Amino acid sequence: MSRARSQGRAAWLFVGPALGLIGVFFALPVIAGLVLSLTDFDLYAIGDVRNARFVGLGNYARVLGAQEFWNAAGNTFYFVIVGGPLSVLASLVAALLVSSRLTRFQALFRSVFFVPVVTTLVAVSIVWRYLYHPHYGLVDWALGGIGIPPIDWLGDPRWAKPAIILLAVWKNFGYNMLIFVAGLQSIPDELYEAADLDGAGWWPRFRHITAPGLGPTFLFVGLMTMLGQFQLFAEPYVMTQGGPLQSTTTIVLMMYQQGFRWWRMGMAAAIAFVLFVIMLIGTAVQLRLQRGSQA
């Protein structure tokens, strides 16, 4: 009995520091954020908190009524809906190629494909900014080689989003590739051997063995990729500052600008919570879609 009690006391000692840090630097700010989003906290309130007034749901009404917000939301959805699946697809293809029984130097390919993942996002965003240069960039030069006229990737509102997606896919596909590779390794070899005996081709094997075997992996990768795309920030910040013509301003970038450039903290907090709700809805939708497709 006393041993159990001393274990209990020790346990609190062990979890205490972590819970304390989470409580003070995470839980408390989240709750405070909710309160903040109900006030008109701005530059004057930073000087003296008494200048902040309670405005109820006023910030939410203003955010949801603002053209600017729906533009940012539209851009964010574009990144989620186009960039997300593209990124997952690239990872899956890479994983299948790398793990093929015919592939030699598997470890080498896996490691090299993973390298962009560990690089610093800000640094590679700057590198790609130059790669996309309409006169001197390697991208347009390579495309010119196959007869495609130069594209002003980051200066043309039609191309800025695809340009950022391309960078994000390049940067991230290695991460999900590794997860898919682990998923592929968990599929028993006997299933493929049986399919070989039946003389099944590539597509039936993929459709009836690989795809179902990867089901849970798909769910995880899809979800994580989507949540990451919802929070896109550094790429547009460094490459386009949200331009041209606000075509790459994401919700998080807008939150940052409202909160830390214009010091409209109440407004920015409301944007953060709207994003949170959107992400929850996105998660629910994706879980339902994927459960449905597996059933």
Partner 1 sequence: MRRSGRSLVLHVVLGAGLVLTVMPLLWMASASLMPAGEANTFPPRLWPSRATFEHYVALFTRLDLARHLMNSAIVAVGATLISIVVNGMAGYAFAKLRFGPRDRLFRVLLAALVIPGQVGMLPLFLMLQKIGLVNTLVGAMIPGLAPIFSIFMVRQYALGIPDELLDAARIDGASELRIYWTIVMPLLKPILATLATFTFLTMWNDFMWPLIVLSDDRNYTLPVALANLVGEHVQDTELMMAGSVLTVLPVMIVFVALQRAYIRGVTMGAIKG
C-alpha to C-alpha distance for 133 and 155, rounded to whole angstroms: 9
| By CB under 8 A, residue 3 contacts partner 1 | yes
Least distance from partner 1 to the Cβ atom of residue 130, Å: 6
Give the Cα separation of 192 and 240 in Å (integer): 47
d(CA 152, CA 154): 6
* Only segment of 54-62, 64-72, 78-86, 90-98 that touches partner 1 (CB under 8 A): 90-98
Contact set for partner 1, span 230-259 (CB under 8 A): 230-231, 233-234, 237-238, 252, 255-256, 259
d(CA 53, CA 42): 10
Cis peptide before 29 (omega within 30 of 0): no
For the chain, the farthest-separated pair of C-alpha atoms sits apart, in whole angstroms, at 80
Residue of 64, 182, 211, 285 interacting with partner 1 (CB under 8 A): 182
How far is the C-alpha of 203 from the C-alpha of 211, rounded, in Å?
Answer: 10
Q: Considering the complex, what minimum distance in angstroms separates the CB of residue 189 from partner 1? A: 18
112 binds partner 1 (CB under 8 A): yes
Collect all residues with Cβ–Cβ distance below 8 Å to 278 and sequence separation of at least 6.
73, 230, 251
Q: Does 25 bind partner 1 (CB under 8 A)?
A: yes
> Minimum distance from CB of 103 to partner 1 (Å)?
6
Amino acid residing at 242: G
193 token code pair: 């051997």
CB count in 10 Å sphere of residue 42 = 16
Reading the block at residue 45, the tokens are 């309130």
> With CB under 8 A, what is the number of residues at the site for partner 1?
95
Q: Choose, by CB under 8 A, the member of 61, 68, 74, 100 that binds partner 1.
A: 100
Question: Is residue 104 at the binding interface for partner 1, with CB under 8 A as the rule?
Answer: yes
Q: Among residues 217, 225, 248, 257, which is the contact residue for partner 1, using CB under 8 A?
A: 217
Indicate whether 135 belongs to the interface with partner 1 (CB under 8 A). Answer: yes
**Binding residue for partner 1, selected from 44, 54, 70, 130, defined by CB under 8 A:** 130
Q: Does 27 bind partner 1 (CB under 8 A)?
A: yes
132 binds partner 1 (CB under 8 A): no
Residues 44-83: x where in contact with partner 1 by CB under 8 A, - otherwise, as a string = --x-------------------------------------
Nearest distance in Å: CB 146, partner 1: 14
**In the numeric block, which tokens belong to residue 65?**
């009524």
Q: Give yes or no for residue 26 binding partner 1 (CB under 8 A).
A: yes
Rounded distance, CA 266 to CA 277, Å? 17
Site string for partner 1, 186-215 (x = CB under 8 A): ------------------------------
DSSP 8-state code for residue 277: H
Q: Does 86 bind partner 1 (CB under 8 A)?
A: no
Q: With binding defined as CB under 8 A, does residue 273 bind partner 1?
A: yes
**Interface with partner 1, residue 122, by CB under 8 A:** yes
HSE of 146, CA atoms in CB hemisphere, 13 A = 4
Q: Which residues are CB-neighbours of 143 under 8 A, at least 6 positions away?
A: 150, 151
- Asked if 283 interacts with partner 1 (CB under 8 A), we say yes
Residue 229 to residue 231: CA distance in whole angstroms: 5
